[in-house]
């Protein structure tokens, strides 16, 4: 089955590297035009150049309202529509017990990982999708379905994103579908501390499929949900973790 997105336009936050870049590449390869955004204009320009003429960019801070408005207006002005929004940008400034987090890093994590996706979706809904339909894909994490010793704050924002997906799917139906992807450890620069060295070797043993994720693994699922192949799917969270959640628990 060949999945196509001809004539569609997608807007991908955090699209200059990692999972966002892979999603942009998959969409462009399927015939869509893509607008990528991130804070660094230099990174965006380099990614857009490498990904080809179907990919444009407009740099901006994902959490600044003026930047959000500017990126959305640039997308509509240059590409004419927004059929798909991918809320991919995320941050993780704190690692440690949640009970010890400081207010500044708590606020930053929630602003980027939860508040920003909510208001990107709201603005795209009002500017285009309410009248024309579309699809929203939120990039959460398998951490939002469990607990960890060091990533509790990050995982809490991702758990909330999963519920936000359900809520918005119910509110925006039938014209807009809202779905979520929850990857395990994917080999990106963002997740490097989790997969490099001894930590990665330990993580690898926990995945029944015998390997960590690659950005393209997530991009394939995003493409399926964004295209007409996902036309009867909304409010769902797909776990992409190499079987990690179903791995046997060894009892000594």
Question: Which pLDDT tens digit goes with each residue over 85-99?
Answer: 999 999 999 999 999
SS3 for 66-116 is HHHHHHHHHHHHHHCCCCEEEECCCCCCCCECHHHCCHHHHHHHHHHHHHH
60 in a domain, yes or no? Answer: yes
> Do residues 35 and 71 make contact, with C-beta atoms less than 8 angstroms apart?
yes
pLDDT tops 60 at residue 252: no
pLDDT in tens, 213-226: 999 999 999 999 99
How many Cα neighbours within 13 Å face the side chain of 22? 17
Question: What does the pLDDT look like over 66-83, one tens digit per residue?
Answer: 999 999 999 999 999 999
pLDDT on residue 191: 76
Check which CATH number belongs to the domain holding 136 and give it: 3.40.50.720
| Domain that includes residue 66, residue range | 9-184+214-246
Q: How many Å apart are CA 60 and CA 181, to the nearest integer? A: 24
Mean local confidence (pLDDT), 182-186: 94
- 207 assigned to some structural domain: no
Reported as a single tens digit per residue, the pLDDT across 97-128 is: 999 999 999 999 999 999 999 999 999 999 99
In a domain, 26, yes or no: yes
Query: What's the angle, vertex CA 126, arms to CA 125 and CA 131, rounded to 5?
Result: 80
Contact 161/114 with Cβ under 8 angstroms? yes
How far is the C-alpha of 43 from the C-alpha of 46, rounded, in Å? 5
Assess whether 94 carries a catalytic annotation. no
- pTM here is 0.95
Averaged confidence pLDDT in the chain? 95
* Catalytic-labelled residue, pool 154, 185, 188, 217: 154
pLDDT reported for residue 239:
98
Number of Cβ atoms within 10 Å of the Cβ of 190: 15
Residue 132 within any structural domain of the chain:
yes
For residue 101, being part of any structural domain is answered with yes
34 lies in some domain: yes
Contact predicate 120/13, CB 8 Å: yes
Give pLDDT, residue 4.
98
More confident residue, 1 or 159: 159
Q: Which helix (H) or strand (E) holds 137?
A: strand 134-139
Would you state the pLDDT for residue 203? 79
In a domain, 203, yes or no: no
Query: What number is the average pLDDT over the span 238-250?
Result: 91
Q: Please state, in angstroms and rounded to a whole number, the distance separating the CA atoms of residues 223 and 135.
A: 11
Percent of the chain with pLDDT over 70: 99
- Domain presence at residue 167: yes
Stretch 194-213: mean pLDDT: 83
Total domains in the fold of the chain: 1
- Per-residue pLDDT band for 50 (boundaries 50, 70, 90) equals very high
Do 134 and 128 form a contact (C-beta atoms < 8 A)?
Answer: yes
Find residue 86's DSSP bridge partners: 12, 137
pLDDT of residue 106: 98
pLDDT at 65 over 90: yes
């Amino acid at each position: 089955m060949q999945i196509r997105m001809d004539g569609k336009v997608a807007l991908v936050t955090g699209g200059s590297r990692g999972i966002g870049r892979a999603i942009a590449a998959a969409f462009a390869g399927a015939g869509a035009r893509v607008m990528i955004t991130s804070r660094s204009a230099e990174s965006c320009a380099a990614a857009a150049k490498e990904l080809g003429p179907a990919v444009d960019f407009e740099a901006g801070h994902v959490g600044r309202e003026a930047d959000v408005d500017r990126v959305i207006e640039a997308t509509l002005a240059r590409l004419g529509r927004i059929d798909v929004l991918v809320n991919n940008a995320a941050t993780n400034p704190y690692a440690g017990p949640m009970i010890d987090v400081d207010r500044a890093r708590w606020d930053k994590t929630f602003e980027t990982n939860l508040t920003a996706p909510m208001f990107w979706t709201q603005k795209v809904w009002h500017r285009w999708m309410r009248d024309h339909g579309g699809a929203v894909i939120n990039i959460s994490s398998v951490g939002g379905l469990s607990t960890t010793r060091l990533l509790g704050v990050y995982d809490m924002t991702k758990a909330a994103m999963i519920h936000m997906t359900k809520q918005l799917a119910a509110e925006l139906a039938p014209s807009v579908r809202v779905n979520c992807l929850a990857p395990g450890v994917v080999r990106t620069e963002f997740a490097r501390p989790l997969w490099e060295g001894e930590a990665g070797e330990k993580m690898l043993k926990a995945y029944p499929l015998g390997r960590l994720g690659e950005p393209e693994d997530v991009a394939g699922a995003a493409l399926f949900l964004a295209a007409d192949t996902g036309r009867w799917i909304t409010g769902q969270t797909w776990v992409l973790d190499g079987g990690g959640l179903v791995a046997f628990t060894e009892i000594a």
